[in-house]
Structure 1
Amino acid sequence: MKTRGDVLMKAEEARRAFVIKQAVAGAFTVREAGEVLGLSYRQVIRLKNRYRKEGAVGLVHKGRGKASNRRIAQEIRKFVAEKAKSDFEGASCQHMEELFASRYGLELSAKSIGRILKEQGVACAHRHRSPKGRRCRERSRRRGDLVQMDASPFDWLGDGVMRSLHGAIDDATGEVVGLWIEKNECLSGYLRVLRQMLERHGVPRAIYADRHTIFVSPKTGKLTIEEELQGKVAPQTQFGRVLETLGVRFIAARSPQAKGRIERLWRTLQSRLVIAFRLAGIRTVEAANDFLGTYAEQMHNPKFAGAPAEAQNAFLPVVEGTNLDLLLARHEQRKACGDSTVAFGGQKYRLQDSRGRTRLLRRGKAVTVVEKLDDELMALADGEAFVLVPVVTGKSSEEPASEEKSLARGAQEREQTSPAAESSWHWYLHPREPIARAIHNPQETTPGTW
């Protein structure tokens, strides 16, 4: 029997070595040793023969201390670490598994990537966390029953500038139904998201969002009893007007946890969408919004969206004939001036119909000015839509010329009406003139002239 010094064994291997040693010594029969170890009769005989030849070392697995035939090559390990520190920076191990498979054809598991990053000293941005014990609200039963909306400020383009990504997600399926980036959280961003949802999916039954003043007037719930008795109500927001027109119910959340589905969406997009922008070479907001038009349908929803509890679709089609350009816009009320114009933004406009004719308005006529998402201005009056044409008065170009003319005319009139130097009225009106003349030219001054 060969001996090779101390042998490191696991507890199971040490137990097996003890039983085989006793079997070799005759303390156990082959059948009894097999019953204790859970091995077959022939396997116990093989282990006894190996023990007699090699000792306890022969019972250790032959692959111990050797590199596995399935070990990932060192070049691939370095490549994974380089990508994790450059193009895939900030991605989770699961996300990197998908990226390596789709872009480079490397079939690496998320656990293998995690082990490689740990060996190479690269920190992993995301780690699995056990869920906290909270009572969760059940999902809606049907697709379109409830849509959650929100915006998330983040460095989406990786240029150090914070921008707000507006989004909407279906509560029943987790399907993203609209995404749009703006400089700040604003009405325009939410209207763009709402338009994407209306055109692709339809009108939902309810929208769930926070209590931002875009959705809820700051005066809501603050009216006094006297004001309520007088019939006063909180003013309606622009977004509230759109939802009322579409027949959509609005539900105001009182905490971020209440709309946790879209809050978790932001955590996912802040990892995956930033890397998608980086790999696509997107650096501007315009290019990002073009990319978002297909990102949710082609990349996000196939992976993260699920099936609803009920197959019936609760999204309703938009009413035929609805002009979304005029509906999804900012509406401001104005009164017509006496010259059939309306003032908006420090400029006067006249209303022009589709034939180019100017619409005449009586003073005080109510007109709704519509500022569309593309900044085009229109007007609604008596149920008709008109184009707003700026009124050019020309006052600014004529003022300098008229002022010069009036100054010249005044100087000419003063010359004509001024008394002659010989007149006594001249010395009465200008008594100091002969004194000054006498001081500077005494030879020209004669007695009796002043």
Structure 2
Amino acid sequence: MRKVELNNMEEYKYKVIKKLVETNGNKKRAALKLHCTVRNVNRLIVRYKQEGKAAFQHKNKDRKPAIAFSPEMKKQIIGLYKDKYSDTNFRHYTEIVFEELGVKISDTTVNKWLREENILSPKARKKTKKQHKKLMKLKLKSVKSEKEKNKIKEVIYKVKKSEAHPRRPRCKYAGEMIQMDASSYKWNGSDIWHLHVAIDDATGEIVGAYFDHQETLKGYYGVVSQILLNKGVPALFYTDRRTVFEYKRKNAPLDNEDTFTQFAYAAHQLGIEIKTTSVAQAKGRVERVNQTLQSRLPVELRRARITTIEQANHFLHSYIKKFNDQFALRLNSTKNVYEKQLTPAQINKALTIIENRKIDKGHSFQYHNLHYMIVTSTGADVYFKEGTEVMVIKCLDGKIYANINDKLYNIREIENWEEYSKNFDVRPELKKEKKKYIPPIDHPWRQNSWKLYSSSIRAHLYGANN
């Protein structure tokens, strides 16, 4: 006969009913003890006489639930995490399991299974890490095998303390503050790229993202162009203290006498304030989203088989929309402080790089190791005397213009060698495109089609019978 094991409540019921049957006691008193009716006590007595102690055991004990995962599926999910997605947080991994295997599973179940395998989430909190470390140390004392001990020591070594970040209230309106930063990471698994990110402090929405090989002005211009095109002009940029945003001259007589950087000048022209800080915790929203993207984005890039930075920038458009749909907040107030959205042409003119040059003896100027000639809108060369100041304006699309005495000119690159020799080369004749002849409406070729068209219009207006 098998041994019957009962929990505390079941054991208490068994003892009360057993004593009641053996002593022929008072059923009402037993009902008060068990917090049930006399009728229910009679049922328990009948079941006790038929089955004995086993009558008080729950019938679903040791029975596998119908919705439980099979051991094969559990092994497949754990193996998939170990083999391909060991750097993925558990919540993100449940989404991947649903997309790849079609299995809907909670992050708590994944957490339980992987904890049994001594695997913590990459985003585990400090308290969780501390508890897991303590548990591993207790387990280390009971293990005798050196192989198992080394495995446990490796798990303990990987558990690191997390840093705390102070909180502050969010801004009230969207567009009131945009936090910006660049995150250097091996986004494709091998090369270090810099992801320039901008996040709205009020909604937590990523409003711009751009990959570049370094943290550059081009990267931040790429982010700002997305904000201006999709949202509008924000009130404030909150950034770290990099020379891209602000620059203090060493020999400046006054502390407030700073030079305008290219980015600061563009922001000033748009009416956007710039605030900088050297404390990472002060702009915690963008720092936190960098951690989230470092956890999730490399996995998504790997799944999409993206290897180049151009492909990654193209992929960001769809991924950021998906990210915002999942994580961005929805404000109760529909008000935002973004000013009107700019057209691509306006953005191209607003986000420029401005440098000063001088006209040389050859009536040209040098820019990035190339020589350029000033030309009019019709293409005719314009000659300025040596030493004339030139403001070179490079737009976001790469086109270059010259500003002399507040007048804008086009430029022409001067080649090192002529394309054709006047004496020894024969220039290929350019074929002129023939103009297409379109006959007038009263031409005989078009009279028949005109009659058919006019009759159909007449039938539509006055009816088919008229």
Shorter-chain TM-score tier: 0.7 to 0.9
- Bigger Rg, which one: 1
Provide structure 2 residue ranges, at least 5 long, that are not aligned to the other structure: 128-161, 419-466
Provide structure 1 residue ranges, at least 5 long, that are not aligned to the other structure: 396-450
Q: Residues of 1 paired with 2:310 and 2:26: CA distance?
A: 81
Shift of residue 303, structure 1, vs aligned partner: 0.7
Q: Which residue matches 1:182? A: 212
1:30-63, CA deviations, whole angstroms, 9 ceiling, x for partnerless residues? 3333333333443333333333333333312223
Q: Which residue matches 1:267? A: 291
1:277 aligns with 2:301: yes
Quick one: structure 1 residues 106 and 9, their matched pair in 2 at CA, closer, same or farther if it must change by over 3 Å?
A: same
Q: Which residue matches 1:152? A: 183
AA partner of residue 269 (structure 2): T
Shift of residue 349, structure 1, vs aligned partner: 1.5
Q: Residues of 2 paired with 1:104 and 1:248: CA distance?
A: 47
Deviates more, 1:193-202 or 1:79-88: 79-88
Shift of residue 234, structure 1, vs aligned partner: 1.6
Shift of residue 140, structure 1, vs aligned partner: 0.8
Q: Does the CA-based 8 Å contact 1:215-1:239 persist in structure 2? A: yes
1:366 aligns with 2:389: yes
Q: Does the CA-based 8 Å contact 2:174-2:201 persist in structure 1? A: yes
Deviates more, 1:370-379 or 1:162-171: 370-379
Tell me the SS of whatever aligns to 1:323. Answer: helix
Q: Does the CA-based 8 Å contact 2:358-2:389 persist in structure 1? A: yes
CA RMSD of aligned residues (A): 2.8
Q: TM-score, normalised by structure 1?
A: 0.77
Q: Does the CA-based 8 Å contact 2:192-2:213 persist in structure 1? A: yes
Quick one: structure 1 residues 59 and 361, their matched pair in 2 at CA, closer, same or farther if it must change by over 3 Å?
A: same
1:169 aligns with 2:193: no
Q: Residues of 2 paired with 1:390 and 1:83: CA distance?
A: 56
Q: Which residue matches 1:139? A: 170
Quick one: structure 1 residues 34 and 216, their matched pair in 2 at CA, closer, same or farther if it must change by over 3 Å?
A: farther
Q: Does the CA-based 8 Å contact 1:139-1:171 persist in structure 2? A: yes
Q: Residues of 1 paired with 2:344 and 2:101: CA distance?
A: 49
1:416-447, CA deviations, whole angstroms, 9 ceiling, x for partnerless residues? xxxxxxxxxxxxxxxxxxxxxxxxxxxxxxxx
Q: Residues of 1 paired with 2:287 and 2:332: CA distance?
A: 22
Quick one: structure 1 residues 204 and 125, their matched pair in 2 at CA, closer, same or farther if it must change by over 3 Å?
A: same
1:125 aligns with 2:122: yes
Q: State the number of aligned residues.
A: 384
Q: Residues of 1 paired with 2:345 and 2:270: CA distance?
A: 10
Aligned-residue sequence identity (percent) comes to 29
Quick one: structure 1 residues 62 and 339, their matched pair in 2 at CA, closer, same or farther if it must change by over 3 Å?
A: same
Shift of residue 141, structure 1, vs aligned partner: 0.8
Q: Which residue matches 1:306? A: 329
Tell me the SS of whatever aligns to 1:302. Answer: helix
Q: Does the CA-based 8 Å contact 1:174-1:305 persist in structure 2? A: yes
Quick one: structure 1 residues 43 and 223, their matched pair in 2 at CA, closer, same or farther if it must change by over 3 Å?
A: farther
Q: Which residue matches 1:213? A: 243
AA partner of residue 258 (structure 2): A
Q: Residues of 1 paired with 2:102 and 2:373: CA distance?
A: 63
> Which one of 41, 66, 69 corresponds to residue 69 of structure 1?
66
1:35 aligns with 2:35: no
Quick one: structure 1 residues 270 and 43, their matched pair in 2 at CA, closer, same or farther if it must change by over 3 Å?
A: farther
Q: Residues of 1 paired with 2:367 and 2:163: CA distance?
A: 53
> Which one of 197, 219, 242 corresponds to residue 266 of structure 2?
242
